Amino acid sequence: MLKHLKPAILLTLVLTVLTGLAYPVAITGLAGALFPHQAHGSLIERNGAVVGSELIGQNFTRPDYFHPRPSATTTTDPDDPAKTVPAPYNAASSGASNAAPSSRSFIDGVLALAGQLRAENPDAEVALPIDLATASASGLDPHISPQAAEFQVPRVAKARGMADADLRAMIAHATEGRTFGVLGEATVNVLKLNLALDEASGGARR
């Protein structure tokens, strides 16, 4: 038995050093040298302060910002550590609703949210697209569809006192098509779009 155990133990230790320490440390060194921005989380700074990551969605609820998709992320309940409470866009604990398609509470929730979105955007010129009414897989989706951005244009324009056409130009600028014209879907990065909005309106608004 010992004869068989010895190479098993030794090889486990050697491979742990090779693939568990040398390999990730080497990749970290190379990544930091070649792609420092991405390696540290694609962070965005404004006026010297980090305001988020290009890749991580942020929660927006004010009418003068474009809103992201619903997020199902949670955090520990401060009153009872055994429970969780909703905390949209919690980037320290990603996750989805995992709601069943045949669940009544899920369907009722989406329909109620759709009603609320339509009420908040009474002048929308396109139909409400499904992505804006359903929670993403990560709870941190940084994107909405171009149609979901267009849906919100009249509301944001009114709140900002800006022309619809100016907002549409900004959305067009912020829209990324399918990769190579084929892969994935067209997207609008909500945080980048809202940063551009703030810039157009002359700095951050409070």
Partner 1 sequence: MNAAGILQIVLYFAVLTAAAIPLGAYMARVYSFERTWLDPVLRPIERGIHRLCAIDPEAEQHWTAYALACLMFSLVGLLLMYALMRLQAMLPLNPAGQVAVAPDLAFNTAVSFTTNTNWQNYGGESTMAYLTQMAGMTVKNFTSAATGMAVLIALVRGFARRQSRTVGNFYVDVVRSTLYILLPLATVVALVLVAQGVPQNFDAYTDVVTLEGGRQIIAQGPAASQVAIKHIGTNGGGFFNANSAHPFENPTALSNLIEMTGQLLISAGLVFAFGRMIGDRRQGRALYIAMALMLATGIIVTYWAEGAGNPALSGIDLAATDQAPGGNMEGKEVRFGIASSAIFATTTTATSCGAVNAMHDSFTPLGGMVPLVNIMLGEVIFGGVGAGLHGMIVFVIVTVFIAGLMVGRTPEYLGKKMEAREVKLAVLCILIFPLSILGFGAVAVMLPAGLAGIAAPGPHGLTEVLYAYTSASGNNGSAFGGLSGNSWFYNTTLGAAMLIGRFLIIVPTLAIAGSLAAKKIVPPSSGTFPTHGSQFIGLLIAIICVIGGLTFFPVLALGPIVEHLLLGAGTLF
Binders of partner 1 among 154-173, rule CB under 8 A? Answer: none
Query: In the window 44-83, what residues touch partner 1 (CB under 8 A)?
Result: 49-62, 65, 69
Options 85, 112, 130, 172; binder of partner 1; rule CB under 8 A: 130
Query: In the window 178-197, what residues touch partner 1 (CB under 8 A)?
Result: 178-179, 181-187, 191, 194-195
Let me know: does 68 contact 57? Beta carbons within 8 Å. Answer: yes
Any contact of residue 119 with partner 1 (CB under 8 A)? Answer: no
Query: In the window 94-113, what residues touch partner 1 (CB under 8 A)?
Result: 94-104, 106-107, 110-111
Q: Annotate 34-97 with DSSP letters as a single string.
A: H-HHHHTT-EEEETTEEEEETTS-----STTS--------EEEETTEEEEEEE-TT-TTS----
Contact window for partner 1 (CB under 8 A) among 140-148, 152-160, 162-170? 140-148
Any contact of residue 30 with partner 1 (CB under 8 A)? Answer: yes
Any contact of residue 35 with partner 1 (CB under 8 A)? Answer: yes
Let me know: does 94 contact 73? Beta carbons within 8 Å. Answer: yes
Please name the amino acid found at residue 79.
D
* Rounded least distance, CB 1 to partner 1, Å: 9
Residues 6+ apart with CB under 8 A from 44: 50, 51, 52, 53, 54, 191, 192, 195
* Rounded least distance, CB 15 to partner 1, Å: 6
- Phi first, then psi, for residue 77 (nearest 5°) are -65, 120
Any contact of residue 7 with partner 1 (CB under 8 A)? Answer: yes
Any contact of residue 139 with partner 1 (CB under 8 A)? Answer: yes
First to last CA, the chain: 71
* Rounded least distance, CB 181 to partner 1, Å: 8
Let me know: does 66 contact 152? Beta carbons within 8 Å. Answer: yes
Q: Which residue has the tokens 């090779």?
A: 18
Q: Which is nearer to partner 1, 89 or 157 (CB)?
A: 89
Q: Which is nearer to partner 1, 132 or 157 (CB)?
A: 132
